[in-house]
Amino acid sequence: MPIEPNVPTKTPNTLPDWIKLLDSVRLPVPMASHERVQAALRDSRSSLRDIAELMQDSPALVLSVIREANHHVHQSLAEPVESLEIALGRLGLARTEELLERLPTALPEDTPRGLRQLLLISQHAAQQANGLFAARLARLWQEIHWGSLLFLSPLWPLAITHPRLLEEWELRVVHKGEAAAKVELELFGVRLLNLCQSLALQWRLPAWIHHGYNLLLDEQREFVKVLHIARDDEHRLRQQQRLDDDPGLRRWLNQPANTVVLANGLALSAQEAWNTPHTLRWQYLTCLYLQMPLDDLQQQVHQHAVQNARHYAAPGLWHPAEALLWPWDTRRVHKGLQPAPPPTAEDLASWRKLCAELLAEPSRFTNAMHLTTCARDALVACGMQRVILLMADKTGTALRVHQTAGLPGEAANLNLLISQSNVVQRLMDKPAQVRLTPQNNTQFSAMIPSSLRGLFKGEHVLLRSVPGNERVVMLIVADQGGVPFSEITVQAFTRTVQCVERALTAFSKRGA
């Protein structure tokens, strides 16, 4: 069964709308895992433990089974399931097999990269939880394991429906240090923790996951108090005395359910580097919880990361274990800070062919839509990821969309009044180009219509007006996903615009 596209026509901006959208997404299961589990379900010798172990390689499948079990729970079994084995027992093998048949499958290379990266982080968190806490709290190992694995699961469908928003969040919050609350309200209209908490409740996920979100949202004072004590790592006796002086705080810290948050904090913060202040905060907190020196904890955490990478690291995904081979102060550079890759040889061959069609005389195009389709395809072939082509109407007062690429469906309904923007007005007065960069972004962004700027998140955007028969008739806006441009793509963009100008002129004279 192929993976189904989940492309929303409009980005939600309220909690109910987000929950409705994300609750409807069906996560793809890796094809190999799907086949192994299906064979085990049909094998009478397989126990529930055997089947559960096979499912662990696909966190998306685990989530689907637990959600299904909670959805069909009988009134007498009101408590949500706390483990995969309990979920399998409640569903039964026949209903589990029916669920498996309904789920989409996909090869790794066909699964959205953002989803695969989030699943890898969740698997890393589960590895840290098992290695650091499960042996010490053996009777609670299932709660620790499944809670840690599924803690970030409310974000998994978001990585399918709005991957670019998550990428921009990471760039701005993690790598540029912008305030998370401001960025999240701007991008999503809601705080991500509130969204995760609400989805966890909707799906009736294990209780320790709800505890974790409540802790992060409502118990920040306790967090700060404990962190002050945890940073005093070189004086462990003094740490113990301070906790003894505040029994309520000691009980708060020692709750077993805190292990889920600690494991995910360690895994998430390690994505940037192993020695950032953010990572050290989670390590100090874990040291205090385990009553362990920092050096010993770091050694264990690094070992667990390497073990996890041996099982789950994959091409095209980032695993923090890779950074253990680097000099200690090295930082992973977010792809949003690196130039976009240049177009491939195959892409450039396609681009040249499309440019040749634009340059053909007499014009081969039967109508304006035919011409702009070719222009859009040429811009995509030269490396542009998001493109919009707007044409002036007959009155010359407004711009209407003719073509888009890489943009949400509502972009096609954009209608711009030229007089409402100084930048657009100047571009439509005579052929010109504006290239947004981090240096001039503040200056120009305020003068570009918000409806247009909102489609091109990022600090690297090209706007170019194109004449046809000595009059500006088209505005092209394009970027490479908001990251710095590949200069080869910029050169090809300039050449493409020249070809489009020739095509527009030849098209306007086709009846002569």
Short-list 30, 91, 27, 89, CA closest to 64? 27
The total number of residues shown for the chain amounts to 512
Q: What is the mean pLDDT of residues 344-361?
A: 93
Give Dmax (Cα) for the chain. Answer: 93
3 state DSSP class of 408: coil
pLDDT tens-digit readout, 247-273: 999 999 999 999 999 999 999 999 988
pLDDT tens-digit readout, 282-302: 999 999 999 999 999 999 999
Short-list 169, 174, 170, CA closest to 188? 169
Amino acid at 109: E
> 105-106 and 29-30 as β-strands: parallel, antiparallel, unpaired?
parallel
Angle at 165 between CA 214 and CA 22, to 5 degrees: 60
Question: Residue 483 pLDDT more than 90?
Answer: no
Q: Would you place residue 6 in the very low, low, confident or very high pLDDT band (cuts 50, 70, 90)?
A: very low
Report the chain's mean pLDDT, rounded to a whole number. Answer: 90
- Preceding amide of 2 cis, omega within 30: no
CA atoms within 13 A on the CB side of 400: 7
In this prediction, residue 118 carries a pLDDT of 96
Going by the DSSP 8-state scheme, the letter that residue 139 receives in this structure is G
In this prediction, residue 512 carries a pLDDT of 53
Question: Residue 403 pLDDT more than 60?
Answer: yes
Q: What is the mean pLDDT of residues 129-134?
A: 95
In this prediction, residue 4 carries a pLDDT of 40
Return the beta strands (E) in 96-156 as ranges.
105-106
In this prediction, residue 511 carries a pLDDT of 60
Short-list 451, 461, 362, 465, CA closest to 408? 451
Amino acid at 504: L
CA atoms within 13 A on the CB side of 212: 29
Strand partners, 387: 405, 478
Strand partners, 462: 435, 478
Which tokens in the block code for residue 24? Answer: 């409807």
Site of tokens 């550079």 = 333
pLDDT tens-digit readout, 211-254: 999 999 999 899 899 999 999 888 888 999 999 999 999 999 99
In this prediction, residue 423 carries a pLDDT of 92
Calculate what percentage of the chain has a pLDDT beyond 90.
68
| pTM, two decimal places | 0.75
Strand partners, 466: 474
Q: Would you place residue 78 in the very low, low, confident or very high pLDDT band (cuts 50, 70, 90)?
A: low
Short-list 384, 364, 390, CA closest to 479? 384
Q: Would you place residue 333 in the very low, low, confident or very high pLDDT band (cuts 50, 70, 90)?
A: confident
pLDDT tens-digit readout, 206-217: 999 999 999 999
Question: Residue 470 pLDDT more than 90?
Answer: no
Question: What is the set of domains in the chain, with CATH numbers?
Answer: 112-335 (no CATH), 345-508 (3.30.450.40)
